[in-house]
């Protein structure tokens, strides 16, 4: 699978715009500095981000259907391992829980557990 991180964002509170980063430390609770949410990490594709402007943390350069098919799979971005848990009910992308904390950077390649 060929997918890379194109952008990274944190949202310190629900009323402020996102802060774009080149690298972020991802803890068990999600990206460091991000407001507390029900789901640790929200991933979307670049096309979904531009179209829907969700408050996603990790924007990936990949097809939206391929990202949706990752639900139930374990993926790795940089030093971080994520378990993709479900699709949101009211916005684009997928949610994930953090399995192994670590740093994620722009241009990191997405690896699916079978590919790692």
Annotated domain spans of the chain: 4-112
The class level of CATH for 4-112 reads mainly beta
pLDDT band at 94 (very low <50, low <70, confident <90, very high): very high
Distance, CA of 16 to CA of 23 (rounded, Å): 20
* Mean per-residue pLDDT, 101-110: 98
pLDDT at 111: 96
Q: Which pLDDT does position 18 carry in this prediction? A: 85
Q: What is the mean pLDDT of residues 66-75?
A: 96
Residue 101 in this model has a pLDDT that exceeds 70: yes
Q: Which residue in 106, 1, 111, 12 sits closest to 59, CA to CA?
A: 106
**pLDDT given for residue 50 in this prediction:** 65
Q: How many CA atoms lie within 13 A of 2 on its CB side?
A: 0
Contact present, 53 and 45 (Cβ < 8 Å):
no
Q: Would you place residue 3 in the very low, low, confident or very high pLDDT band (cuts 50, 70, 90)?
A: very high
Residue 17 neighbours by CB distance under 10 Å: 9
pLDDT at 116: 45
pLDDT 10s digits, 8-54? 999 998 787 889 999 999 999 999 999 888 889 999 999 887 666 66
* Residue 68 confidence (pLDDT) above 70: yes
């Amino acid at each position: 699978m060929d997918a890379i991180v194109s952008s990274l964002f944190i949202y310190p509170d629900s009323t402020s715009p996102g802060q774009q980063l080149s690298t972020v430390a991802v803890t068990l609770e999600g990206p460091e500095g991000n407001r507390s949410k029900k789901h640790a990490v929200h991933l979307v594709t670049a096309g979904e981000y531009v179209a829907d402007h969700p408050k996603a943390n990790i924007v990936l350069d990949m097809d939206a259907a391929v990202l949706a098919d990752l639900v139930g799979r374990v993926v790795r971005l940089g030093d971080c391992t994520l378990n993709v848990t479900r699709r949101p009910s009211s916005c684009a992308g997928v949610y994930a829980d953090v399995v192994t904390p670590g740093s994620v950077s722009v241009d990191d390649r997405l690896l699916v557990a079978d590919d790692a």
